[in-house]
Structure 1
Amino acid sequence: MTAPAHTPPLPPPPLTGSARLWGTLALSAATFMNVLDTSIANVSLPAIAGDLGVSPTQGTWVITSFAVANAIAVPLTGWLSQRFGQVRLFVASVALFVIASLLCGLAPNMTLLIAARALQGFVAGPMIPLSQSLLLSSYPRALAGLAMAMWSMTTLIAPVMGPLLGGWITDNMTWPWIFYINVPVGIAAVMVTWGIFHQRETEQRALPIDSIGLALLVIWVGAMQVMLDIGKEHDWFESPWVVACGLVALVGLVAFVVWERGEDHPVVDLALFRIRNFWAGALATSVGYGLFFGNVVLLPLWLQQYMGYTATQAGEVMAPVGLLAMVLSPLVGKNIAKVDPRRFATLAFLVFALVLWMRSNFNTQADLATIMVPTIIQGVAMAFFFIPLVTITLSGIAPDRIPAASGLSNFMRITAGAVGTSVTTTLWERRASLHHAQLTEGLHQGHLPFTQALQGLQAGGLTPEQALAQVERLVNQQAFMLAANDIFYASALLFLLLIPLVWLAHPTRAASGSADAAAGAH
């Protein structure tokens, strides 16, 4: 006699009034704190490396250790949430994140700091997918879009705010405070979340541990993240270390996929890729986010290294990116049930393409207003990006699979962000070398404009060597500006090419598709 199929219990009703408001604030604060920590340490690396007596290159492991551990933990969310319950897992993740943050700030040497950052990244893994799932379960189906609007603002604005806040703290306080600021936020989030959600715990199932699948996941994700981190520094596949990491990642990935497909209780539910809306939505989100994040990294680098901006000024240029996103996201959320989300996503990609085309026309005389206008317009694209794509990705997925689907799609997005950063910065430097060679081809002593420029500089009081150095600086500035223009233009074209991918998904309405599943995630 066959056992009856497992039927999950009915989800609790949505929250109302102040409980929903405080629940939303607590979940959003925890998500913001998590995403902020992926970028807040970037501008503080020189200070951290100097204080702990290591080279800036060794200091980059502060970033890598967090990224590797986080990328491994995120796709485990589905399995862990079934094993321990979504509320318990989320609260434990935030509490452990606070402890890890405290350990980071107290670390007396680089070894312990890297270990604490790895712990911080690992325990942070389930926070974003579960905050998404718990938030959606707090709202009625008609308001699921609004819930996603609140969630998406934290995940889009935090990466931009990270370098700005990290730079200010490093300049005005000491670097451990970039970690200490998590402590009060995390404690408040734990208390409020547990107080509101502890009676809404999900069903727990004693699932066996897929130890081989977990080991393969650790191997291939770890190798891939290390390859992305050390690639540029070691001239990519010219280095045997990078080649070795790449091969380990590739073989590990193939072995992981083969093993997980035959496993009864896999750590990652790869069967989700059989759902067209999931793979189309997750792929569009990942590639779009990779392009967005790569350009978020590139613009401040160009401003600081070749346009004379300080870290704080570059951060201020990036800050307005969230203004229109904050205004428009609630409107998108309220109307997502009435409009085909594929139309909204198409608008996002068109606006991203417009913004990047505008940036591809920058020159070295670009003033603050010229640089700021595309940044402000980008807020429109950000508002229409996450909410529709999450709606498409999660549509038609059973409620008990939402955490697994959210974890897997977020893993793809985080990985794409790392790939986007590595590819963008590498291509920028290579295109700059090409432009530098082209610009200097005609510069020789018999070239009249070049000779006149040198004479003019020497007439201004510079020595011949100083005059040549000044010309070299100007050529470098032009080369990197032209290289940045190339990256912006190519990114604009890629955003346009993403539009057909969105339309491969089946039509869905938030009220009857993902919202049904999302609101029933418990």
Structure 2
Amino acid sequence: MVSTRASSTGEADAAAVRPAPAIARADAAAWLAVAAGTLGAFMATLDISIVNSSLPTIQGEIGASGTEGTWIATAYLVAEIVVIPLSGWLERLLGLRTLLLIAATLFTIFSMVCGISTTLPMMIVGRVGQGFTGGALIPTAMTIIATRLPRDQQPIGNALFGCTVILGPVIGPVIGGWLTENVSWHYAFFINLPVGATLITLLLVALPHQRSRLDQLRQADWLGIAGLAFGLGGLTVVLEEGEREQWFSSPTIGLLSVISAVGFVLLAIGQLTARKPVIRLALLRDRQFGSVVVMVTVVGMVIYGTSYTIPQFLSGIAGYNSLQAGEIVLLAGVPSLLLMPFTPFLIRFVDIRAAVAFGLVILAISAFLETGLTSLSTGEAFVDSQLLRGVGTIFVMMFLNQAAIRSVPPELAGDAAGLYNAARNLGGSLALAGIAVIQDQRVWLHSRRIEESLSANGVDVQAYMAGQAQMLGGQAAAYRSLGNTIQVQALTMTYIDLFWILSVGIVAVMPLILFLRPLPRGAKPVASH
């Protein structure tokens, strides 16, 4: 017993003085790879919204109507949503470096096609090409972080990626508006040439070549690939164009709905029969990852919904031009820049559940503040809410990023990244579709309610109309003025409804925070099950 105890004590003493194993650190090539992935994701997310403020000018120059011009934005989003979930399979097929080089090169070429477009079909071809190639750049940035950085340095990479995803849609309208006002709308696309050249150089220097596995073409889940393209592509177009086309009274929307339904059936069959499904929906069975996907969908609705709704309010109610409205939207990006140096520390030491809860509460408060708008509100009414929205967004996105990437083993990081980013963009598509539906219906409802409250025989109404007729030079002008006033008030009330809905939506997903798992520092990623 004595000798055993002495032996144990000696081993303990030796262990105490034995130096701890060195923690692996990322080398310069790994950080250059992260920089390349981040730059590619930024370029792709920026181009989602960079044309928003330039659309009227672009439509006029290429001879497109207002309805046709919306396809300039929709074509990009549809193509991107389809390809994002496929990025994991494409990475395994071609190798990460080859995939990114092809995507970056083609994205730059398609950007030039958009910049020199003189017709709507040419522009749509360019935007579809941008969407397909840019969509591959977003989730692969998360894959680089998960596979090239050690665990203790991943928070830094996640912070860089998260800020680009947040800033891209926010500053896109500002850059596009400034270029359109001061140079030309063409440069909203030409700006991608130097960025693309820089990205390609970084990829060549930083990422090692991986052998392509073209044999996977024979084993591919072709049912799943076709189902994903038809399902998500058809659904996105239906959501984007449904209200404008009067939903199922339009044969086109009816046909696309059937195509989308068939696509999702094919995707489900592929999940059940394929040895290696093209997208691993089984990851959603993990409570943490499934909860993250739901929450990031709602956050996507907030990011894209507010970046669309606020400029619309400022343009339609306050009389702002596109650049002025874009500057108000840009305020949400200020906290991202200020908090970026601190996010790796926060991710490392703050509990995931507490951080996400804090972010969601701040987002709900920011939307609630905007329910106090009036028809006299200007950009100043959005300053506090936009700054709060920026803080809430960066907390939620940073920590959901971390939760998503830690929910799966590194070999499934590509599939998880595809699902995560597709959910965020799908949330944006749902938000834009929902805004169109709600705006159309609620403006009509509020207009009727206001009209019902105005009695034609009321003394106050008659006195007001008499005064307006005398001031405007006739009864007809007075009625037109009253109609415009009712429309402005109804539209303002509709925007208030939209912000109420966003507030409620954020609160509704808060219980999912309970499914997030705080992981100890240095722990290996938890496998999906």
Same fold? TM cut 0.5: yes
Give the counterpart of 1:271 among 266, 272, 282: 282
Instruction: Provide the aligned length of Structure 1 versus Structure 2.
Output: 503
Q: Partners in 2 of 1:506 and 1:483 — Cα distance?
A: 39
One-letter code aligned to 1:489:
W
Matches for 1:163-178 after TM superposition, within 5 Å: 163-178=173-188
Say whether the 8 Å CA contact 1:41–1:163 is kept in structure 2: yes
Aligned to 2:514: 503
Q: Partners in 1 of 2:301 and 2:380 — Cα distance?
A: 26
Q: Partners in 2 of 1:123 and 1:72 — Cα distance?
A: 11
TM-score, structure 2 normalization: 0.90
Q: Give per-residue Cα distances to partners, 1:315-368, cap 9 Å, x unaligned.
A: 111111111122224323222222221211111110001001110111123344
**2:286 is aligned with 1:256:** no
Aligned to 2:97: 87
Q: Partners in 2 of 1:501 and 1:394 — Cα distance?
A: 17
Aligned to 1:281: 292
Q: Partners in 2 of 1:510 and 1:273 — Cα distance?
A: 24
What is the SS of the residue equivalent to 1:264?
Answer: coil
Aligned to 1:379: 390
Q: Partners in 1 of 2:64 and 2:123 — Cα distance?
A: 12
Give the counterpart of 1:491 among 498, 502, 510: 502
Matches for 1:261-340 after TM superposition, within 5 Å: 261-340=272-351
Aligned to 1:403: 414
Q: Which has the higher helix share?
A: 2
C-alpha displacement of 1:204: 5.1
Aligned to 1:63: 73
Q: Give per-residue Cα distances to partners, 1:94-113, cap 9 Å, x unaligned.
A: 11111111112123322122
What is the SS of the residue equivalent to 2:309?
Answer: helix
Q: Partners in 2 of 1:121 and 1:45 — Cα distance?
A: 17
One-letter code aligned to 1:37:
D
Aligned to 1:520: none
Q: Give per-residue Cα distances to partners, 1:423-472, cap 9 Å, x unaligned.
A: 02321231121111111113343222222222222332433222221221
**2:352 is aligned with 1:341:** yes
What is the SS of the residue equivalent to 1:37?
Answer: helix
One-letter code aligned to 1:134:
I
C-alpha displacement of 1:173: 2.5
**How large is the Cα RMSD of the aligned pairs?**
2.2
Say whether the 8 Å CA contact 2:221–2:270 is kept in structure 1: no
C-alpha displacement of 1:179: 0.9
One-letter code aligned to 1:275:
D
Aligned to 2:460: 449
Q: Partners in 2 of 1:35 and 1:389 — Cα distance?
A: 18
Q: Partners in 1 of 2:348 and 2:214 — Cα distance?
A: 33
C-alpha displacement of 1:227: 0.7
The verdict on how the C-alpha distance between 1:72 and 1:13 changes in structure 2, with shifts beyond 3 A counting, is farther
One-letter code aligned to 2:230:
I
Aligned to 1:6: none
Question: What are the ranges of 5 or more consecutive residues in structure 1 without an aligned counterpart?
Answer: 1-11, 518-522
Say whether the 8 Å CA contact 1:64–1:229 is kept in structure 2: yes
Aligned to 2:15: none
C-alpha displacement of 1:205: 7.3
One-letter code aligned to 2:79:
A
Q: Partners in 1 of 2:476 and 2:351 — Cα distance?
A: 63
Structure 1 window deviating more from structure 2 (309-318 vs 358-367): it is 358-367
Q: Partners in 2 of 1:392 and 1:21 — Cα distance?
A: 21
Say whether the 8 Å CA contact 1:14–1:138 is kept in structure 2: no
C-alpha displacement of 1:128: 0.6
**2:140 is aligned with 1:130:** yes
Q: Give per-residue Cα distances to partners, 1:371-400, cap 9 Å, x unaligned.
A: 211111111101201111122222241211
The verdict on how the C-alpha distance between 1:188 and 1:42 changes in structure 2, with shifts beyond 3 A counting, is same
- The structure number with the bigger radius of gyration is 2
**2:232 is aligned with 1:206:** no
C-alpha displacement of 1:86: 1.2
Q: Give per-residue Cα distances to partners, 1:292-335, cap 9 Å, x unaligned.
A: 32122111111111221111111111111111122224323222
What is the SS of the residue equivalent to 1:439?
Answer: helix
TM-score, structure 1 normalization: 0.91
Q: Partners in 2 of 1:484 and 1:476 — Cα distance?
A: 12
Q: Partners in 2 of 1:160 and 1:202 — Cα distance?
A: 37
C-alpha displacement of 1:37: 0.9
What is the SS of the residue equivalent to 1:198?
Answer: coil
Q: Partners in 2 of 1:489 and 1:202 — Cα distance?
A: 51
Say whether the 8 Å CA contact 1:87–1:202 is kept in structure 2: no
Say whether the 8 Å CA contact 1:320–1:375 is kept in structure 2: yes
Q: Give per-residue Cα distances to partners, 1:25-55, cap 9 Å, x unaligned.
A: 4332221111011111222222222212221
**2:110 is aligned with 1:100:** yes
